[in-house]
Amino acid sequence: MPDEPQASRDATVADTIERVRLEQFPDVDRDLMLEILRLHAGGIVADNASRLVDEAIAKRAAEMI
Partner 1 sequence: MLRIKSLHLKDFGAFKGEQAFDLPDGEGVTVFYGENMRGKTTLLNAFRFALFGKIIGRGRRPVSFHDMINWEARSEGARSFEVQLNLTYAGADYRLIRTCRPKGSASTPIGHNDYVADYYLERGGHILSPQQAAVEIEQILPEQIARFFLFDGELLQEYEDLLHGDTDMGPKISQAIERILGLPTLTKSRESLKAALDKAEERVAVAAQGDQKTREFGNQLQSLVEEREVLTGDLFRHEKDLEILRGRKVAIEDDMRRRERMASLLDKRDRLAGEVTTLEGVVQQKKDDITKAMSPAWSAILRPQLTAAVAAHRTREADLQSAVTRAQVLHSLAEGHDASCPTCLQSVSSDAQAKIRALLPDVGVGSPDADQRELGSVRRRLDALENQLALANPDALRVLWSDLEARRREVYSKTAEIEEIGKQLTGDAEDELKGLRREYDSVVRQIAALEDGVKATTEKLATNANYRDTIQKRLDKLAGGQMESERRRRDLASRLHDLFKDSVDVYRDQLRHRVEADASRYFKQLTTEQDYEGLRINDSYGLTIMHRDGSDIPIRSAGAEHVVALSLVAALQNNAQLRGPIVIDSPFGRLDGGHRSKIVEVLPDMADQIILLVYEEELPPARAREALKGRLRAEWALERQSARHTELVKR
For partner 1, the binding residues (CB under 8 A) are 1-2, 4, 8-9, 11-13, 16-17, 19-21, 24-25, 27-28, 32-33, 36-37, 39-45, 49-50, 53-54, 57-58, 60-62, 64-65
- For residue 29, the minimal CB distance to partner 1 (Å) is 8
Is residue 36 within 8 A of residue 53, CB to CB? The reply is yes
| CA atoms within 13 Å, Cβ hemisphere of 52 | 13
Question: Rounded to an integer, what distance in angstroms lies between the CA atom of residue 53 and that of residue 35?
Answer: 8
- For residue 50, the minimal CB distance to partner 1 (Å) is 5
